[in-house]
Amino acid sequence: MNTLESSALIIVDLQIDFCPGGSLAVNGGHEIVSGINDLISKRSVLFKKIILTADWHPVNHISFASTHNLEPFARKVVGGDIVTLWPDHCVEGLKGSEFHPDLQVEKSDLIIRKGRKSNLDSYSAFFENDRVTPTGLKGYLTDHSIQKVYLSGLAFDWCVYFSAMDSTKLGFETYVIKDLTRSIDLPAGYALEKEIEMKRAGVKIIDSSYF
């Protein structure tokens, strides 16, 4: 069991566009909302801080396949790296960028909006994809004496994965609440590969029964 004074729950990108019916829907993404709300309702005994992250992209963002006149999920060299290009999603101010309507957003302490620069994407809650530009999350956690980070949200094998890997590299004791995440798993087996990488890095994979 975690210690309230040193723990934070981070809910990654639980937005309309990543839930069924959204432009980049993660299968079953909506199914995790009630379980996350259950944890939020117990924050007085579980977590010192609750933090939400959100993709918040401008129109014609570099991660959009449409920006490059390509089909969604195409691969392309961008900035020297081979990247996956996505359907237009979580465009700032549009409906798809909003949090799932059932999520208890009002009980969060901080919202981190990421991927706001047109030429730079951000998977991790801690850094933009240049791996240099911080989102400010590390400083916030340090300022509030957080030592343990619990991650949930979407998607397990992308933004949750990158956030967990950065969290443990930055020295936080890091947990991923797997049943409160869902995976894209494209190609098949990708999610398992990322889970193995997280475990090797020292990330603890748990489920909500841990609490």
Catalytic residue numbers read 13, 114, 159
Between CA 135 and CA 51 the distance in angstroms is 13
Write out the DSSP string of the chain.
---GGGEEEEEE--BGGGSTTSTTPPTTGGGGHHHHHHHHHTHHHH-SEEEEEEE-BPTT-TTBGGGGT--TT-EEEETTEEEE-B-S--BTTSGGGSBPTTS-GGG-SEEEEE--STT----SSSB-TTSSSB-SHHHHHHHTT--EEEEEEE-TTTHHHHHHHHHHHTT-EEEEEEEEEE---SSTTHHHHHHHHHHHHTPEEE-GGG-
Output phi, psi for 16, to 5 deg.
-60, -40
